[in-house]
Structure 1
């Protein structure tokens, strides 16, 4: 099992832990399926009224998809199969509040999870970055998720700078990505305290508020997500295919494996 879950029935809070510290909590296909199953399970678990999501250890919250994973892709440049699209709570129709607790690195595909949390608590040693452009890949879903939380210029800078720049917890707090910064090792405890407060309130009011907050940006997010597959598939084409499409003017790119 790549996930651990610790339930506190008295407070109504579940702690969900990505448990692959030796892989910096990167997500393989098994972990992706476990996340889908867990969020769907929590929809029906009335003893859990709020959740905290974190990664095992202090080196990384999550570093996105495991680089060893190979995901077969359809031949159409307008379609892409992405196993991370279903790993978040909202993708699985879970409207119980989820608080993310970040220690260490959060990068790349981690934003699929951070983008579907209600808010983020981070250690002051946490860092956030998006490596896609460095490796000749399009950042689409990650950038879209962060655009719901950060000012345009900050999202553009992080997405375009790739591995050359990491956003500190202090900067993430200043730009609204992170709502609370703790001492090293304190992110989970702070997130659990916040989740326990929320879980103590009437469930229907809490879940209705979660849904209302998400509806505020849902239309723009839906439109942006509709464009993402084609942008990724086209931008990540191998150089020889780009040459075919752009009469030899296409630059380098990586095969579509996310």
Structure 2
């Protein structure tokens, strides 16, 4: 199993840990399916009233899709199969509050999880970046999720600079992606404390509030996400060319932190 779930029955808070530290908690197809099962399972467990999602270790929260995952694609340019499309709680119709706790790197497909969390707590040493453009891929879903939290110019810079630049936790806090900064190693504990507070409140009121906040941007987000498959089909390099750029070390010559 690549997902660990620990539930504190006293507080009603579940800690969901992406547990592939040797792969920087990158998501393969098995982990994607596990995440769906976890979120959907919480819908039927009234003892879980809030959740925290984090990554094992301190090197990475999540680095998106595992590059070794085999993801077959339909031949039609009008269809794209995205294995990460349903890894978040909202995609699984779960409305308990979910808080993300970030240590280390969060990049690429990690933004699916951050984008469907109520808020993000991060270590001061956390960094955020999106490698898609570096390797000839369109940052579509990731950019849409980020645009719900950050000013468009900040989203554009993060997405377009690819692997050449990483957004620091401080900058992410200043621009709205992160709501609280902690000392290194303290993100999960801080997120659990916040989750315990929220979990102590009446569940129906809390879930209704989560749904209300989500609905504030739902129409724009849904419309934007509808364009994502076509943009990806049109703009992505062929998989073999992407692999060439990745294995050649393109874009790995160092990065600038901002």
So what's the TM-score if we normalise by structure 2? Answer: 0.92
The residue that corresponds to 1:160 in the other structure is 160
**2:24·2:59 contact (CA, 8 Å) conserved in 1?**
yes
Residue aligned with 1:254, SS: helix
Residue aligned with 2:85, SS: helix
**2:136·2:237 contact (CA, 8 Å) conserved in 1?**
no
How many equivalent residue pairs? 243
The residue that corresponds to 1:133 in the other structure is 133
The residue that corresponds to 1:99 in the other structure is 99
Residue aligned with 1:184, SS: coil
**1:137·1:253 contact (CA, 8 Å) conserved in 2?**
no
The residue that corresponds to 1:115 in the other structure is 115
**Deviation of the 1:70 alpha carbon:** 1.5
Partners in 1 of 2:242 and 2:141 — Cα distance?
17
**2:88·2:116 contact (CA, 8 Å) conserved in 1?**
yes
**Deviation of the 1:122 alpha carbon:** 0.1
CA RMSD of aligned residues (A): 1.2
The residue that corresponds to 1:195 in the other structure is 195
**Deviation of the 1:78 alpha carbon:** 1.6
**Deviation of the 1:253 alpha carbon:** 6.0
The residue that corresponds to 1:236 in the other structure is 236
Task: State yes or no: 1:254 paired with 2:242.
Answer: yes
The residue that corresponds to 2:80 in the other structure is 80
**Deviation of the 1:254 alpha carbon:** 3.4
Which segments of 5 or more consecutive residues in structure 2 lack a partner in the other structure? 244-258
**Deviation of the 1:109 alpha carbon:** 0.5
**What are the Cα deviations for residues 174-223 of structure 1, in whole angstroms up to 9, with x where unaligned?**
00000000000000000000000000000000000000000000000000
The residue that corresponds to 1:247 in the other structure is none
The residue that corresponds to 1:219 in the other structure is 219
Counting only pairs closer than 5 Å after superposition, residues 143-158 of structure 1 correspond to structure 2 as: 143-158=143-158
Partners in 2 of 1:68 and 1:42 — Cα distance?
29
Partners in 2 of 1:6 and 1:146 — Cα distance?
28
The residue that corresponds to 2:252 in the other structure is none
**1:5·1:14 contact (CA, 8 Å) conserved in 2?**
yes
**Deviation of the 1:237 alpha carbon:** 4.2
Partners in 1 of 2:115 and 2:238 — Cα distance?
29
**Deviation of the 1:238 alpha carbon:** 2.9
**What are the Cα deviations for residues 100-144 of structure 1, in whole angstroms up to 9, with x where unaligned?**
000000000000111100000000000000000000110000000
Query: Structure 1's 100 and 62: CA in aligned 2 closer, same or farther, altered over 3 A?
Result: same
The residue that corresponds to 1:184 in the other structure is 184
Residue aligned with 1:181, SS: strand
